[in-house]
Amino acid sequence: MAKPDELFAEDQGVFMISVAARLAGMHPQTLRIYETKGLVSPKRTRGNTRLYSEADLERLRLIQRLTTELGLNLAGVEVVLRLEDELRRAHERLERLDRQRREEIQNVHKQYRRDLVLYQAPRPVPTRQH
């Protein structure tokens, strides 16, 4: 079966280069090249062995799609990764701004409703318990 250290590594959700390469469908040497170009940055053990996390693997699979399916070179991959990150953050900002918009409108409504009650019903205002 699999070797003890491989099993151990996979149990941790962390993979050494041979396993990561197999899971990403790549040559181990290719992964080393990607690291020198700054496309992935796996951790290292004390013995200097690369350890690929799940996030690293996800990134590898994305790169795999860009290079083999779409035919990008590494320079293109770098730019695309950056742009996709920007785009993701832009969408997050959209989400946040929309939520903020709704909340602010609600708050304005609440504020005025409180004021309206004061004018409409000039009886003793219920003070909050002290």
Partner DNA sequence: AGCACGTTCACGTGGCGTGAGGGTCC
Partner DNA sequence: AGGACCCTCACGCCACGTGAACGTGC
Give the binding site for a second copy (CB under 8 A). 66, 70-73, 75-77, 79-80, 83-84, 86-87, 90-91, 93-94, 97-98, 100-101, 104-105, 108-109, 112, 115-116, 119-120
Q: How far is the CB of 10 from DNA (least distance, A)?
A: 12
Q: How far is the CB of 116 from a second copy (least distance, A)?
A: 7
- Paired residues of 93 in beta bridges: none
Residues in the chain: 130
Q: SS3 sequence, 43-58?
A: EECCCCCEEEEHHHHH
Site track 25-64 with DNA (rule: CB under 7 A), x = hit? -xxxxx-xxx----------xxxxxx--------------
Which whole-number Å values give the CA distances from 108 to 83, 95, 103, 130, in the listed order?
A: 37, 20, 9, 27
Rg (CA), the chain: 27
Question: Residue 3 or residue 89: which is nearer to a second copy going by CB?
Answer: 89
Q: How far is the CB of 50 from DNA (least distance, A)?
A: 3
